[in-house]
Amino acid sequence: STSRGLGDVYKRQALERADILVVTDGLARAEDDVIARVAQARESRGVRVVSVVIGRDTAGVEAFSDEVRLLSPDALGDHPPR
């Protein structure tokens, strides 16, 4: 899950000054403890979180993201699965 993966960020020494890319539809919400741990990693390790939301609901990523980009599903077109 997104929350579990982001929540573990603060534990990983290898993520010093890492850039983390989150791609989501924005519908899921991170739990408060996950948001706090990501904030801790941002401060103590210099982690930067960029979220790409496919859709229009950015509320699920705003609390833990340094930058949020919107990608309209219409821009993706109607492509058959590969």
Give the N- to C-terminal CA distance of the chain in Å, as an integer. Answer: 24
- Percent of the chain whose pLDDT exceeds 90: 41
Please state which of the ranges 17-26, 47-56, 72-81 shows the lowest mean pLDDT.
72-81
Runs of H (alpha helix) within the chain: 2-7, 32-45, 59-62, 73-76
pLDDT in tens, 34-43: 899 899 989 9
User: What confidence score (pLDDT) does residue 29 get?
Assistant: 87
Tell me: pLDDT of 75 over 90.
Answer: no
User: What confidence score (pLDDT) does residue 80 get?
Assistant: 57
Mean pLDDT score, 8-32:
81
